[in-house]
Amino acid sequence: MTTAFDPTLDPQLQSWVASANTDTTDFPIQNLPFGRFRQPGDAAWRIGVAVGDQVLDLRAAGLIDHGDMNRLMQAAPAERRALRTALSEGLREGSAQQAAYARALLAQADVALGLPCEVGDYTDFYVGIHHAMEVGRQFRPENPLLPNYAWVPIGYHGRSSTLQASGSAFHRPMGQIKPAQASQPELAPCARLDIELELGLFIGQPNAQGEPVPIDEAEQHLFGITLFNDWSARDIQAWEYQPLGPFLGKNFASTVSPWMVTLEALAPFRRPFARPVGDPEPLPYLDSADNRAHGAFDIQMEVVLQTARMAQDGYAGDVIAESNFAEAAYWTAAQLVTHHTVNGCALRAGDLFGSGTLSGATKAQCGSLLELTTGGKYPITLSNGEQRGFLEDGDTVILRGWCAREGARRIGFGECRGTVLPVFTKG
């Protein structure tokens, strides 16, 4: 784990890229997240690093000789840190590389940002303890939290083919739904479309099949973290999820923010990790002194809902929920990697882990409408008078995340934005 002082994190560092020095930017020189971009007319993605409102083309700057993000993500931690150091030195005030780097800068507003890498496999976990409890109360009021939750990082395999870049829209899904009083299900549009406030964890270094990753080595295999919205069709999910769990209620769309914030950039925002008092300690393979001392990340998150009417009126939307990764998660990132590989599963560069919905303990910290509205029974009232139990066509949801503490420079994740379209009709 990265806990020693790193000069690239010096809060006094300033960049010759003026927009990186503002108090409001997500991308100061202390951040330097990785993503992919292309200009109009480009066929291939290029690798970039966000700095202020600009993106630095790493190949054009002479920092790499290829455009394969997944290849870059496989580099050993020492190589990644060396690249970060070179970026920091080249972008800081007074750098001898300023002229060369300046020729490799493009405005983020002028390029298309895509998925940050090619995603081969996608696993969605269920680490949000408060979300698990509340959803359990709605689906299984007599037994809300199953006994394995305290012992096993629960997850399921999702569809990487329907992952979408931030800014994309998707059609409301169709599926089998069984109304409460009906004798049989029907094929119908989802009426209970929901959001899930999550983080995405990207694997960098792979492991060989059959070789589990020990917990003290787990973070060496993690490249970075993004925002992640795992849209959910709650009515389809309710009918199909037993006995094998999520299927069509989950795999129609998931939205990923474009910038992977590295674990090096997140080092100042680590927190101790501890189980709630009275809960059992994890099994030894999921426990270590380092994980207890530094395993949690203090990442603040919010959910913004902008209805179609708000967009027409030029209003950016309402913040409907706020939460924090360290306070919401029952398992750490390192524990997820270790558990995923303990049976011999091979992870590859670009594999994505969804955290699961990261709800806090209070109603205002609920990361899904299922929780905020108690399954649609108590719709929320928005600032313009509109109400929502679940999402309607034309709604846009924006996730934002950032880290801030005294003695460190605030860094952010950009935004994760998606819009609901009506059900697809041919013709």
Residues belonging to the active site: 131
Q: Please, is 96 exposed, middle or buried when counting C-beta atoms within 10 Å of its C-beta (0-12, 13-18, 19+)? A: exposed
Decide: 254 and 231 in contact? Cβ < 8 Å. Answer: yes
User: How far is CA 324 from each of CA 10, 161, 198, 335, 371, rounded to the nearest angstrom?
Assistant: 24, 29, 10, 18, 16
Does 237 appear as a known binding residue? yes
The answer to whether 126 is annotated as binding is yes
Is 140 annotated to bind ligand?
yes
Decide: 298 and 410 in contact? Cβ < 8 Å: no
Residue 198 among known ligand-binding residues: yes
- Are 224 and 205 spatial neighbours (Cβ–Cβ below 8 Å)? no
The reply to whether 357 sits in an annotated binding site is yes
Tokens at residue 59, please?
Answer: 């190949």
CB atoms inside a 10 Å sphere around CB 312: 9
**38: exposed, middle or buried (Cβ count in 10 Å: 0-12, 13-18, 19+):** middle
User: In sequence order, what are the residues at sequence separation of 6 or more whose Cβ sits closer than 8 angstroms to the Cβ of residue 142?
Assistant: none
Is 254 annotated as contributing to ligand binding? yes
Where do we find the tokens 């003695």?
A: 407
Q: Looking at the chain, how many residues does it have?
A: 427
How far does CA 396 lie from the centroid of its chain? 17
SS3 content of the chain, % helix, strand, coil (to 5): 25, 25, 50
Q: Is 74 annotated as a binding residue?
A: no
Question: Has 230 been labeled as part of a binding site?
Answer: yes
Residue 426 in marked binding region: no
Annotated binding site: 124, 126, 140, 196, 198, 230, 237, 241, 250, 254, 357
Annotated binding site for Mg(2+): 230, 250, 254
Annotated binding site for substrate: 126, 140, 237, 241, 357
